[in-house]
Structure 1
């Protein structure tokens, strides 16, 4: 059973992930390179933690391949998430990411072969309506929002996959091999990206001193600590509740972005109306979940 401390941990890591969008905006090198070096530092940091805790690096070969492939999904998630912040702004990236609850409501029952809970699907549709409100006006950041939505989809996918893996493998070990998978995926994709879509001469941009600082914070705080903690919480808290709580990430992130970046983060009325609709799903969920659980316990 989840305790109050578990829920506080969940909200704290959501706050950290909201702050990660700010850190990503501060890094000067392109998104691909930023994620590439973040994954490398995160893998090294997790290796140190596992060694210090005297935990095992050993996993079955089939599970190792599975974790590496999940790492590829994490790479796509980070590139989409931080790419959205670059082509649009932090606020747009975070709101697109909030669609993770919709994706989870649809994908988790399908992948786990369980029944879809109607109230979760309704809340997912509420998120969809909030996005419609944003898109229905003359919204200039459509590409950024679409990338944010891709970040939400990939977040739902690797969370569902991790909820299975954490039953048999320690959370730090899961995070370690997924960071290796993220690094390897980008190492394979970066040359292709540079040749096909790259507009710069350099094949690989190296971080500046200040970039290393921001990337190290991303890797250490938002990956080593937050990511592994989120995986551990999946033992006690449902994937959908974790994903729905992640919808608070835009609230934390947008407030911080407006305070730090000022006018560039200010949006039109329709954006905030749509965001309010999306955020209402977070407020409504605990009440609907409690009612659903009570009805399940009632004798038939």
Structure 2
């Protein structure tokens, strides 16, 4: 009976793991696409959240899951955290190379490893903490060959805020995912984030003067790289722990580096490749331990 239960758990976890990897790949691709769009960080985040929410309306209407009463305090909190996460991350790219923002964001698994056992009253898992530490080590190696300018510390600080806010968001999503369908949760959070950002976008005047190419890029960013990716990520949190998902999310800069090489012709150096290898080894170790557990 116990063996049968374990087999069922593995069958449930495999689709979630597959969905998580697709989501992380799309997260990495979003950074490459966002970097190619000549708009402000505020407009970039507003556009992706707005179009992510809009594209999910017909899906939820067809499934009869579109209800205003589902906008709870926790959903509003998640929309706020989502906006803070993206704003701080994309803002960090304005002060230093992408690597510094990613290095700060790499603190995300450490925050989860420290907070999740307290948040969910679960025992601490040493292997998750070790994997998170090696992820941070990998990111340090990736940026160690980059020169530190005046804006590097600011970019690093913004990246850490981005990682902390995403850690809080992931844990609240894990709790909410038990009673709200994934794509419905994605719609609610993106809609709240877009609503919160709208007054600032109007004050900044960012809605005017954008080309058709910019709007097309924002629509693509919102539909595929936001709505789909976050729906898949929230689905994975229904079957996987937040700490494990956070370690897998650390593959985002690796995927981003690969895509930047393919589409932006940004060739990685030896240290970047070494750091990427350390991150991949840490995530592979975490995957093996999770399957064994």
TM-score by length of 1: 0.82
- Please tell me whether the aligned partners of residues 104 and 159 of structure 2 are also in contact (alpha carbons under 8 angstroms): yes
Q: 1:15 to 1:138 in 2, by over 3 A?
A: closer
**Which deviates the most, 278-287 or 182-191?**
182-191
Q: Please, which of 203, 206, 224 is the counterpart of residue 204 of structure 1?
A: 206
Over the residues paired in the alignment, what is the CA RMSD in angstroms?
Answer: 2.6
Q: Please, which of 228, 232, 236 is the counterpart of residue 229 of structure 1?
A: 232
CA distance in 1 between partners of 2:48 and 2:221 (Å): 7
The count of aligned residue pairs is 279
Q: Please, which of 66, 82, 87 is the counterpart of residue 79 of structure 1?
A: 87
CA distance in 2 between partners of 1:14 and 1:94 (Å): 14
Partner of 2:220: 217
CA distance in 1 between partners of 2:69 and 2:207 (Å): 34
SS of the residue 2:264 aligns to: helix
Q: Please, which of 248, 258, 264 is the counterpart of residue 255 of structure 1?
A: 258
Q: Does 1:154 align with 2:155?
A: no
- Superposed CA offset, 1:14-45 (max 9, x none): 11111000110111110111111221221211
Q: Does 1:240 align with 2:250?
A: no
Gaps of 5+ in 1: 195-201, 294-300
How far apart are residue 133 of structure 1 and its match? 4.4
How far apart are residue 116 of structure 1 and its match? 1.8
Partner of 2:123: 115
Partner of 2:286: 285
Q: How does 1:1-300 map to 2 (within 5 A)?
A: 1=9, 2-59=12-69, 64-133=72-141, 139-140=147-148, 141-189=152-200, 203-206=205-208, 207-262=210-265, 265-266=266-267, 269-291=270-292, 293=293
Partner of 1:297: none
How far apart are residue 179 of structure 1 and its match? 1.1
Q: 1:269 to 1:143 in 2, by over 3 A?
A: farther
Q: 1:72 to 1:266 in 2, by over 3 A?
A: same
- Please tell me whether the aligned partners of residues 94 and 249 of structure 1 are also in contact (alpha carbons under 8 angstroms): no
SS of the residue 1:87 aligns to: coil
